[in-house]
Amino acid sequence: MTPQAYSYLGTLKDKHNLLLCSARIPSGMRYHQESIGILGAPMLCYNGALLLEGDQTVFSKTIPETALDLLKRSLAEIQVNWGLYAYDQWWVSKDSERVQKERSNTCTEPLWGETYTTLKRLVDEFGGVHKIMLMGEKSEVDKAMTALAHLQGSALVFFRSNDTLIEIAPIGVGKKEGVLQLIGATGLDDAMAFGDNDNDIELLQAAGWGVAVQNAKPGVQSAADAVTPLSCTEDGVIDYLRQCYAR
């Protein structure tokens, strides 16, 4: 977000409940809350797998050991790197361009450890992980999508956020389900939601008014009630909100 976006959203915080919903780790969202002036307000992390209000966990669902074992077997011959997320921990086994990009995007530092050893520790400590990010060359990620297809909707939920990245969540969670945990169906009827990726579609469809940003994937734009004239990097959400208040 730009300083202008933070400033404008700050003017709305006393008029509306502002809920940040993201695939990000909590620490990668708190600085946005602080800049807006809503630090401690509820936030939805890991595509709906973790709902926090301040330091309190409102809802949490992890990928269990049984699903992790299926995932390991399916990817045994595929060269992808795993990023493991549980509560406010992010673990990787080695550095890469993608890891450095994630550090920059979320202002979060990774912890380092061998993947399967870390998985066992997180299962023992938390019962599983909230999110897995698979990173690799496009050809290997293509193979991973094919290898995981039989698990979609039965053991896991996943989507491909770009050519080199797959994000995996526990079955039965999503941004829509996470928001419902907080405000209920009638609250969603009165909500305006913004999104740009496949993991936003159900929330945009369920909200009273769903808005896709101009650079959103075509399927996201088709699912929305409106599309912003400007992209995310052009503060499309803020421009759209300004237009709404000008009417």
pLDDT given for residue 131 in this prediction: 97
Q: Which two tokens stand for residue 23?
A: 């695939």
pLDDT at 247 over 70: no
Residue ranges per domain, the chain?
Answer: 3-60+174-246, 65-170
pTM: 0.91
Are the beta carbons of 118 and 84 closer than 8 angstroms? yes
Task: Write out pLDDT tens, residues 144-168.
Answer: 999 999 999 888 999 898 899 999 9
Nearest Cα to 20, choosing from 55, 62, 48? 48
Any bridge partners for residue 52, and if so which? 43, 57
If pLDDT is split at 50, 70 and 90, which confidence band does 245 have? confident
What is the C-alpha R_g of the chain? 18
For the segment 18-38, the average pLDDT, to the nearest whole number, is 95
Look at the domain 65-170 and name its fold: 3.30.1240
pLDDT given for residue 214 in this prediction: 96
Percentage of the chain exceeding pLDDT 70: 100
**C-alpha angle 39/7/182, rounded to 5°?**
40
Task: Write out pLDDT tens, residues 83-115.
Answer: 999 999 999 999 998 899 999 989 999 999 999
Look at the domain 3-60+174-246 and name its fold: Rossmann fold (3.40.50)
For the segment 196-222, the average pLDDT, to the nearest whole number, is 94
